[in-house]
Amino acid sequence: MLISKTDNDEQQEGVVDSKLPVCPNCGSAKESILEQVPSPASFIISLICLLYCGIWCIFIIPLVFQSTKIIIKRCYYCNSELEKRNYFQLPNINDQILQFRFGNCIIVVSRKYAMILLGIIFIIFFYFKYNAEKEVFEIDLHTNLQWIDFLQYCGKFQFVENGLKARHQFETLFKNKIVSWNGIYVKTKLNYDIQFPYNYMVYIKMDPTESTDDIPDILLGVKSQEYFIDTFQMLEIGQQLHFNAKFISLGSEYNFHILELKQLDIIQENIVDIKQIKKFTLIMDQAQQLKKTKLQDSLKRMIHMYQPKINDNKSKVDQNNVVQMGLSAEQIQDIEQEIEQLQKQLESEEQQINDEQSQVINNDQIENSLSKEENDINMNSKINNEQESIKDSSTKNNLDQQ
Mean pLDDT of the chain: 74
Domain annotation for the chain: domains and CATH numbers: 22-88 (no CATH), 90-136 (no CATH), 141-276 (2.40.50.420)
DSSP, collapsed to helix, strand or coil, labels residue 135 as coil
Nearest partner of 73 among 62, 63, 64, 86, judged by Cα = 86
317-366 residue pLDDT tens: 443 443 334 445 566 667 677 777 777 777 777 777 767 766 766 676 77
33-68 residue pLDDT tens: 777 788 888 888 888 888 887 788 888 888 777 777
pLDDT of residue 107: 76
Q: Is the pLDDT of residue 316 over 50?
A: no
pLDDT of residue 10: 46
Q: Is the pLDDT of residue 315 over 60?
A: no
Looking at this protein, which amino acid is placed at residue 172? T
CA distance 207 to 185: 12
Contacts of 177 (CB under 8 A, 6+ apart): 140, 141, 142, 143, 246, 247
**pLDDT tier at 247, thresholds 50, 70, 90:** very high
CB 210 within 8 A of CB 280: yes
> Stretch 382-397: mean pLDDT, rounded?
76
> Stretch 302-318: mean pLDDT, rounded?
48
Contacts of 364 (CB under 8 A, 6+ apart): none
In the chain, the largest separation of any two C-alpha atoms, in whole Å, equals 150
pLDDT of residue 4: 45
Q: Is the pLDDT of residue 306 over 90?
A: no
CA distance 119 to 390: 104
Strands, E, within 257-386: which ranges? Answer: 257-266
> Nearest 5°: phi and psi at 122?
-65, -40
CB 322 within 8 A of CB 311: yes
Beta bridge partners of 106: 101
DSSP, collapsed to helix, strand or coil, labels residue 181 as strand
**pLDDT tier at 232, thresholds 50, 70, 90:** confident
**pLDDT tier at 9, thresholds 50, 70, 90:** very low
Alpha carbon of 213 to those of 169, 186, 233, 282, 365: distances in Å? 28, 12, 21, 17, 13
68-107 residue pLDDT tens: 778 788 887 787 777 777 666 556 666 677 766 665 677 7
